[in-house]
Structure 1
Amino acid sequence: MKHSFFFFMFIAFFLVTGFSEAGKSFSIERADIRATVKENGDLSVEEVYRYDFKGSFEGATRSFSEETASRLKNFKAYLLPDHRRKGGQAIPLKTKKEDGTYFAYSASKDETKNVMFRYVIEDAAQKFEDTSILIHSFYQKANTDFGRVKIEVRLPDSVKARDIHAFLREKGNGKITKVNDSSVTYETGLYRAGTGSELRIYFPQSALKEAVRHPSYQTKDELLKEERDEAKRYAERDERIAGAERMILIFSGIVGFMVIMAVMLSFLKKRRRAMLSFEELESFDPVLVAFLYKKGRFTDRDLLAGLLSLYQRGLVTMQKVQAEERFLDDPKAPDDTYEFEFSGSKADLPKPDQLLIEKLFEQTVSDTYMFRLDSLSGPTEEECKHKEQLGKYERKRIILQNVVQKWTESVRQAPEFRELFQENRWLRMLSLSLLSVHTGLLLFILYADVVHQAGFMAACVIFGFALSAGIVLAKSKLYTILFLAGLFLASVFTDSVHTILYYGICVGLSILLIAFIPAVKESRYASICRRSILSWRNHLRKEDLFSGRSLSQNEKTMIFAIVLEVEDESAVWLNQSANRLDYASPVLGMAAAGCLHYPFYSWQLPDSQQHAGAYDAGGSGAGGGDGAGAF
């Protein structure tokens, strides 16, 4: 009962605190900023924010970018009387700085307040040989909506309106509304969160009498030309973004249609395929079954298909023997293994069989070769503890991978295998087309969104190089998907949410299309056989296909269960011990004993040992937004 009470109180506490937090909100109805450029280049700023608090708050905040915070001094906060917006008998507030954020303490609850911030930014304006320049962003990325914003920048008194050239870089609705003698005024209605504004004001260099003169790398006329060109790009931004969105929607429609067609064709193709009987499949060679099942991509475990093919054709014999001594002390390793013996001339064998005998078997006497299944194994758990012993196994793994690769290529070149699977060249062409179009769309989006020139050039270089590499790598679905994902991540750095959403949908449809297009083109015969084999494998896993059949038939069925990697499920239906089955058939005994897993499982041990000491160091905290707020 006591536990129930505490549980109820615990839930109630979180519900109450959750609802109380949800009920808290604040808004900034307006922001009035007056900034004065001093003759030494410093910028003295006075900001007044009208807050509307809903719920209880401790105070207000003002955040700055790292670059601005490094040059900021004399920050002070004041509470203004309700009937005054600026100046007057302001009440000083206690402030505290954390990183680039200042906290001004003034407890508030369900009320409206005017809070004023004052501060100085050193060297905000710079003096050059033929001009002075003020480049300043009051909000690089506002962290909340402002109902109305007005910024007045006052220049030294000697500056005339005709000598002022003011430019605004903003992706919002703000405008420079007035340019008078010694002043520039910026105004906007709703100033949305996430908006950044940068004022760039050119005025005579003689106005900064006390400032240090910096060397000029460009003339005033060159700078003004660049500013006018950039201003034109900002003015045309909305129109270009709308054009980019239209292009994305059209291309999305084309890709979406292709996805639907690919799905329908795949479905219709599967419905029309015939199926082979299980008896027909059992007449196949084990290597052919493995080749069809894996679409011609063998792993080290598929060497068993080659060995069992030799056994089924009577070219090798097999028997159970004791495992190597190093496995006897390993609790996870079987105490027994199986030995294969080949007698005869290798020259009479097909090339894939010759390669298996040469690479896996050891010659004991003239024309007699032996192979032990446990020779494919990696290090034991005990050996993994001694890292100095792992070097030889790493070399062994490389040799084994090389054997698998050479044997796979040899099988693929055999006449009966050559035409079954081929590289789908349409996939490469489609991937290159999609990557080219998506790269072009992204670069157009970045240009339309007036992304900084350095970022735009970096995107051109990175994705241009990746697109060039795609000429070779585009046949890989993974490369194409990762490329498309990278393009989408790059689009997130733009400031148009709708464009990001549309582009993300387009990228998603393209990834779906790539996923539906097979990387390997299979012949009609291979398609029928593979579909039949997959069905057969499912029956081997779930049904008893051994009862009422002869020993030789059961042995043949178990060979294919091993090749299709379902020997454990199939062995359940035998209802006999591994030792008894060994006398009847070494294949049945091998499957029942579970000896097939360890040689390939053991290679995973070094990797698991290597990563056992890894840990999560944790992530970094998130920085606050730029602008005014509350806490």
Structure 2
Amino acid sequence: MKKQLLFFILFLFTFATPAMARSYNIDEVQIRAWIQTNGNVLVNEISHYTFKGKYDYTIRSIHTAGHEGVKNFEAYELTNKSAEPGFVNQDDLQSLTVNRDENTYSADLLSEDEEKSVFYTYELVNAVRSYETYSDLTIPFFGTDEHHDKTLQNVTIDVVFPESIEPSRYYAFMHDRFGVVEEKGAEVVRFTTPESPLYSLTEVRVLFPSSVMTLQEKPAAPMALTEAVEEENALAHSFYEKEEQKQQLETILKVLSTAACLGILTVFLLRFRGGPGDASSLLHHDPLYLYMIDRNGRSDEYAFLAGLYSLIERGMATVETIQSKERFQKDPEAPDETLQFTLNVKLRKAMECDQKLIKMLFKNRKTFIIHDLAGVTKREIKPKKGAHLHKKVRYYQEQQQEWTDCIVQELKNDGFFSSGIPSFLKQLMLLTGYSFILYAYTVDSLGASTSIIYGVIGLLLLLVIWRKPKKRWPAILFYIVSIIAVAMLYDTHTALWLLLFISLNALLYTLTPRFLLSSEAAAIKADTRIFKKSKSTPSGDLEKWMVHSLLLRPKRSAPETHAEPAMAATAPLAYLMLTNQEPVNYIANTWKWSTPPGSSSYSSDGGGGFFGDSGGGSDSGGSDGGGGGAD
């Protein structure tokens, strides 16, 4: 999983690097819209761009709502950058070739690392809806869809009436996150906003007397003018409420982020429970319990070895070295010798978990050889021999999981492990992150489709996490999806605080152990920590020391002890380690080589034992406000 996550990050950087090589900004947008007496609206726009890198064209997408079509769209390069809409001289304009794709217009404009200004002019057909008592002009200049994929700075919108109207006789509203009605005049009403964030709505609405619309028919109004004004006032009140809710959300996120930091610190300090530790006392503990406590209940390819040496420690089995059988002698990577275990106890007299281990490995036999667990050898990969071993490896892994689950439950029953608090906290962290993102979507006025998409995906991942708590990938994917979801928010401040909280939440989730250790288990963990750091060589039982070193994976080299032939009888594992014949690593490699082509998992037939004679081989086988594109 660590490799997969690394590859994912590298994948993102691979595609991010070319995208960062060039960029553009829209520093200012000036719009002037003249209301025509026939209901059309003539629009002039000036957009000031700063290009970094090479671009071939700019893009302007016209929102399809609020009118019945666009006509006479033209684009020009503006050489006089100080000119304003309505006051542009023809000599300052250089015509640009325009191409249309539905409601999106691209104007050919060659630019490279420079500032340029573009003048757009077009007419919106029947943009004004006139009624008997009033007229309604609503124009969403920049909408919430993918065409508005760039933040526009310093937007000014002037709406010009066909004739003078007293400011008290009309109403003006701006639907924009930061926008205001800056000036109400008899001839012009001005709207401004410091920025129009990407994917956010920048829309103006003017309710004015219909008497000035002399060339339009005037049916009955769908609602009274007072009702329309009250509707806008209610919308504004809802907006201010959501702003207050966002402030409250940011305060809560600050508090929870601080709590998450304290939680991370607490989890870090928990690693030092159990006192200073004593490496010498470690050799007196059961190797299986040491193994499970060290890994906090998770198992790997060394689990069965820990179980076997636990049986040996309790006098239930013995071990010796034997020569590898013919199948492995043909493989140059296979060790020449391996371990054979002999059972000294009857199955019915063993404890429940021991019975599972014995059934899994010995299969009604007295002896078990480590190479019995081998999958496909290196020399069998290319000729595709040993195909029947694919299911056998999978079956063994499933049996091992059942056995390790039994050991974990036994440790919980004995009071070494406690899962209640960690499990509750992890579920709380997931639900908190999920809930706050959905709440942020609501107060940030994101579209319902965005909330539904994240809500469904997030919920499905939560269900997978709860159904498969041992799997790590669902939680990793959940937090990746959540971080992407946070990036969709309009409000930058809320997004930053939510991103910080989700990141700390993910880190705390990752660091929170699967189990809390009892005082005794914490002391053993402390002993293990000191044992791993110790650089001293064993002065007593070399075999025990080697068993614990192999299972606990200390970062140190093996002792400089010469391997005598007699050691194979008295300290078989130590003998193999000192002669570079580590028995489990090779077996683990054969499991990796045994993955069926084109598949990462495969099902078991649920049959009986199969790990028999290890010597037997087998031969069967763009944006609203503008933008650019480059070739």
TM-score (normalised: structure 1): 0.71
Deviation for aligned residue 1:290: 2.0
Structure 1 residues 471 and 406 mapped into 2: Cα distance closer, same or farther (>3 Å)? closer
Contact kept? 1:132, 1:208, Cα under 8 Å: no
Corresponding residue for 1:286?
287
* In structure 2, distance between residues paired with 1:342 and 1:109: 78
Listed one character per residue, the Cα deviations across residues 46-82 of structure 1 (whole Å, up to 9, x for unaligned) are 2245x598999999844327979x9766432335685
Secondary structure of 2:302 counterpart? helix
Structure 1 residues 207 and 322 mapped into 2: Cα distance closer, same or farther (>3 Å)? farther
Within 5 Å, give how 1:172-187 maps onto structure 2.
172-175=178-181, 177-178=183-184, 185-187=189-191
Structure 1 residues 160 and 263 mapped into 2: Cα distance closer, same or farther (>3 Å)? same
Deviation for aligned residue 1:171: 0.6
Deviation for aligned residue 1:402: 2.8
Within 5 Å, give how 1:394-413 maps onto structure 2.
394-412=390-408
Listed one character per residue, the Cα deviations across residues 7-45 of structure 1 (whole Å, up to 9, x for unaligned) are xxxxxxxxxxxxxx99x9998566132255795x87643
Structure 1 residues 394 and 177 mapped into 2: Cα distance closer, same or farther (>3 Å)? farther
Listed one character per residue, the Cα deviations across residues 432-480 of structure 1 (whole Å, up to 9, x for unaligned) are 4445554554444333322234434555666577778887778999866
2:102 maps to 1:116:
no
Within 5 Å, give how 1:275-424 maps onto structure 2.
275-276=277-278, 278=280, 280-342=281-343, 345-363=346-364, 369-385=366-382, 390=387, 392-412=388-408, 418-424=413-419
Deviation for aligned residue 1:481: 7.1
Deviation for aligned residue 1:160: 12
Deviation for aligned residue 1:404: 1.3
Structure 1 residues 436 and 294 mapped into 2: Cα distance closer, same or farther (>3 Å)? closer
Unaligned runs of 5+ residues in structure 2 are 1-20, 601-621
Within 5 Å, give how 1:10-25 maps onto structure 2.
none
Contact kept? 1:275, 1:528, Cα under 8 Å: yes
2:158 maps to 1:151:
yes
Listed one character per residue, the Cα deviations across residues 169-200 of structure 1 (whole Å, up to 9, x for unaligned) are 211233275497xx884421644664641235
Corresponding residue for 2:31?
32
* In structure 1, distance between residues paired with 2:316 and 2:241: 78
Corresponding residue for 1:188?
192
Unaligned runs of 5+ residues in structure 1 are 1-20, 613-623
Deviation for aligned residue 1:227: 5.3
Deviation for aligned residue 1:238: 3.7
Contact kept? 2:461, 2:474, Cα under 8 Å: no
Contact kept? 2:533, 2:555, Cα under 8 Å: no
* In structure 2, distance between residues paired with 1:430 and 1:224: 49
Secondary structure of 2:366 counterpart? strand
Secondary structure of 1:33 counterpart? strand
Deviation for aligned residue 1:369: 1.8
Listed one character per residue, the Cα deviations across residues 273-298 of structure 1 (whole Å, up to 9, x for unaligned) are 253451x3323232232233223333
Greater relative CO, 1 or 2 (CA 8 Å, sep 6+): 2
Contact kept? 1:72, 1:120, Cα under 8 Å: yes
Secondary structure of 1:411 counterpart? helix
Contact kept? 1:295, 1:421, Cα under 8 Å: no
Q: Which amino acid aligns with 1:168?
A: M
Structure 1 residues 128 and 490 mapped into 2: Cα distance closer, same or farther (>3 Å)? farther
Deviation for aligned residue 1:520: 0.7
Q: Which amino acid aligns with 2:576?
A: M
Q: Which amino acid aligns with 1:576?
A: A
Deviation for aligned residue 1:490: 2.6
Listed one character per residue, the Cα deviations across residues 404-441 of structure 1 (whole Å, up to 9, x for unaligned) are 13322443455x87324333322333344445554554
Segment of structure 1 superposing worse, 238-247 or 457-466: 457-466
Deviation for aligned residue 1:521: 1.6
Q: Which amino acid aligns with 2:235?
A: E
* In structure 2, distance between residues paired with 1:208 and 1:477: 69
Deviation for aligned residue 1:152: 2.0
2:558 maps to 1:559:
no
Corresponding residue for 1:170?
176
Contact kept? 2:375, 2:389, Cα under 8 Å: yes
Corresponding residue for 2:538?
545
Contact kept? 1:63, 1:628, Cα under 8 Å: yes
Segment of structure 1 superposing worse, 439-448 or 468-477: 468-477
Structure 1 residues 53 and 588 mapped into 2: Cα distance closer, same or farther (>3 Å)? closer
Q: Please, which of 494, 501, 506 is the counterpart of residue 506 of structure 1?
A: 501
Corresponding residue for 2:60?
63
Corresponding residue for 2:557?
569
* In structure 2, distance between residues paired with 1:332 and 1:261: 46
Corresponding residue for 2:587?
599
Contact kept? 1:477, 1:519, Cα under 8 Å: no
* In structure 2, distance between residues paired with 1:394 and 1:208: 83
Within 5 Å, give how 1:93-112 maps onto structure 2.
93-95=95-97, 97=99, 100=104, 102-103=106-107, 105=109
Structure 1 residues 74 and 246 mapped into 2: Cα distance closer, same or farther (>3 Å)? same
Corresponding residue for 2:3?
none
Structure 1 residues 422 and 234 mapped into 2: Cα distance closer, same or farther (>3 Å)? same
TM-score (normalised: structure 2): 0.71
Q: Which amino acid aligns with 2:589?
A: Y
* In structure 2, distance between residues paired with 1:453 and 1:485: 21
Q: Which amino acid aligns with 1:169?
A: H
Listed one character per residue, the Cα deviations across residues 286-315 of structure 1 (whole Å, up to 9, x for unaligned) are 223223322333334211122223344554
Aligned residues: 569
2:228 maps to 1:246:
no
Percent of aligned pairs with the same amino acid: 21
Contact kept? 2:338, 2:369, Cα under 8 Å: yes
Deviation for aligned residue 1:528: 0.6
* In structure 1, distance between residues paired with 2:517 and 2:118: 72
Secondary structure of 2:97 counterpart? strand
Give the superposed CA RMSD: 5.2
Contact kept? 1:142, 1:196, Cα under 8 Å: no
Deviation for aligned residue 1:489: 3.6
Contact kept? 2:130, 2:136, Cα under 8 Å: yes
Corresponding residue for 2:75?
77
Secondary structure of 1:34 counterpart? strand
* In structure 2, distance between residues paired with 1:225 and 1:303: 74
Structure 1 residues 300 and 98 mapped into 2: Cα distance closer, same or farther (>3 Å)? farther
Structure 1 residues 568 and 511 mapped into 2: Cα distance closer, same or farther (>3 Å)? closer
Q: Which amino acid aligns with 1:411?
A: I
Deviation for aligned residue 1:373: 0.9
Contact kept? 2:178, 2:195, Cα under 8 Å: yes
Q: Which amino acid aligns with 1:150?
A: I
Contact kept? 2:390, 2:595, Cα under 8 Å: no
Secondary structure of 2:584 counterpart? coil
Structure 1 residues 93 and 383 mapped into 2: Cα distance closer, same or farther (>3 Å)? same
Listed one character per residue, the Cα deviations across residues 335-355 of structure 1 (whole Å, up to 9, x for unaligned) are 443332335633333333333
Corresponding residue for 2:618?
none
Structure 1 residues 37 and 299 mapped into 2: Cα distance closer, same or farther (>3 Å)? farther
Contact kept? 2:73, 2:120, Cα under 8 Å: yes
Deviation for aligned residue 1:536: 1.6
* In structure 1, distance between residues paired with 2:233 and 2:345: 87
2:197 maps to 1:197:
no
Deviation for aligned residue 1:144: 6.1
* In structure 2, distance between residues paired with 1:55 and 1:291: 57
Segment of structure 1 superposing worse, 293-302 or 25-34: 25-34
